[in-house]
Amino acid sequence: MRVAVIGLGKAGLPLASIIADNGFEVTGVDTDERKCEDINSGKNPIPEEPGLDELIKMHGGKNLIATARYEDAAHCTVFIIIVPLFVDELYNPDFSILEAAIRSVGPLLKKGDLVVLETTVPPMTTEALAKEWLEEESKLKLGEFYLAHSPERIMTGYSISRLKEFPKVIGGVDTESGLKAYEMYKKIIPNLHLVSDARTAEYIKIIEGCYRDVNIALANELLKIADVLGVDFYEARANANHDYCQIHLPSTGVGGHCIPLYPWFLIKEMEKREKFRYTRLLRTAREQNDEMVEYWAEKIVLECLRIDKPLNELKICIEGITFRAGVKELHHSRNLALANLLREKGLNVFVHDELFRRAELEKMGLRWIEPDEADLVFNCFELKMRRSV
């Protein structure tokens, strides 16, 4: 089994490494040539991922060959596509990267080959779009090749262990594809579950994200209420939670490439079908989470007013600007949105983040400060304000 992994990002590279570690020849394709060189020389481009260093060192340039050229994967029989999917400003999925990757795989397909889409996608993407693009480019028909969806379930910081232990689902666009894909993937993923079809696999991954999003929105809503009532939300949460009650942690909202996008996949799909009332909870949760920055901004402003200094002289530090603690990634970062919102209000806003050097932040147009030098520090992960006096 020779496997091509298209996309060597935070999801793709751990997967490619695990497949190589299982003794298979892996060709990793990524547009970033420098990253490919690093991998081939045994250097891990995602050092924050525990366990990945060793795997890249062991297999990079050997069992795992990284390349920017699709044709280098022509000898493979299994093609795994694991590239990013974004949404546009109206939250519609933007398939351009995915389409380019799938269309580039098409010409490499030979009879009997298997394509597995790992990117989390809106329902029906695999059976409709991916199939169409592959058939067009390969001049083969489904049945001559196999097509399945197995959504990545990794989480930066836990990717290797997730691949080794966590349950993973796979579903084919037809019965044969499902069986073929299950058989192949079972050699790599120990905790693998075959589901009815690709659409079910797509839906499973999406609703997992929806569960998280709605429950974070609930925690955020309950925190606001607790604040109004003068109740310590964290004390209450600790005492409310038990086997049948799993209230999540509140936040500045939900950022990153994953969870905040998935509810939109369902919302937009239902809108297309004029089922507007079928996603009211998902939509409300989405809005609730995205609006949390307004809540925190107001709290910060009120705290500023209690400091005996003119507002325009007062230095506010937003501490922690990544979308999640410990991950150097800013996509849909609500903490950054909070800093921007405060700046729009005319406040004197600075940022600080252990994962970014001063120069990096200033290059992004942000003003850097040492928390000790600010009058007020808001820690975005602890949701705590402190005055630095």
Q: Site residues (CB under 8 A) for its own copies?
A: 123-124, 166-167, 169, 193, 195-196, 199-200, 203-205, 207-208, 210-212, 214-215, 217-218, 221-222, 224-226, 228-232, 235-237, 239-240, 242, 244-247, 266, 269-270, 273, 275, 277-282, 284-285, 287-288, 291
Q: Which is nearer to its own copies, 96 or 284 (CB)?
A: 284
Q: Which is nearer to its own copies, 180 or 212 (CB)?
A: 212
Q: Please state the closest distance from residue 125 (CB atom) to its own copies, in A.
A: 12
Q: Please state the closest distance from residue 325 (CB atom) to its own copies, in A.
A: 16
Q: Please state the closest distance from residue 211 (CB atom) to its own copies, in A.
A: 5
Q: Are 22 and 188 in contact (CB under 8 A)?
A: yes
Q: Is 158 helix (H, G, I), strand (E, B) or coil?
A: coil
Q: Which is nearer to its own copies, 113 or 197 (CB)?
A: 197
Q: Are 116 and 150 in contact (CB under 8 A)?
A: yes
Q: Which is nearer to its own copies, 111 or 273 (CB)?
A: 273
Q: How many CA within 13 A on the CB side of residue 38?
A: 13
Q: Residue written as tokens 């705590």?
A: 384
Active-site residue 317, yes or no? no
Point out the catalytic residue in the list 36, 76, 210, 258. 258
- For residues 358 and 38, what is the distance between their CA atoms, to the nearest angstrom? 26
Q: Please state the closest distance from residue 254 (CB atom) to its own copies, in A.
A: 13
Q: Which is nearer to its own copies, 278 or 381 (CB)?
A: 278
* Among 128, 126, 99, residue whose Cα is nearest residue 115: 126
Q: Please state the closest distance from residue 149 (CB atom) to its own copies, in A.
A: 12
Q: Is 179 helix (H, G, I), strand (E, B) or coil?
A: helix
For helices 292-305 and 198-229, give the axis angle rounded to 10 degrees.
Answer: 20
In sequence order, the β-bridge partners of residue 64 are 26, 60
Q: Is 366 exposed, middle or buried (0-12, 13-18, 19+ CB in 10 A)?
A: buried
Active-site residue 141, yes or no? no
Token pair in block for residue 304:
């500023």
Token pair in block for residue 285:
């949760």
Q: Which are the catalytic amino acids?
A: 205, 258
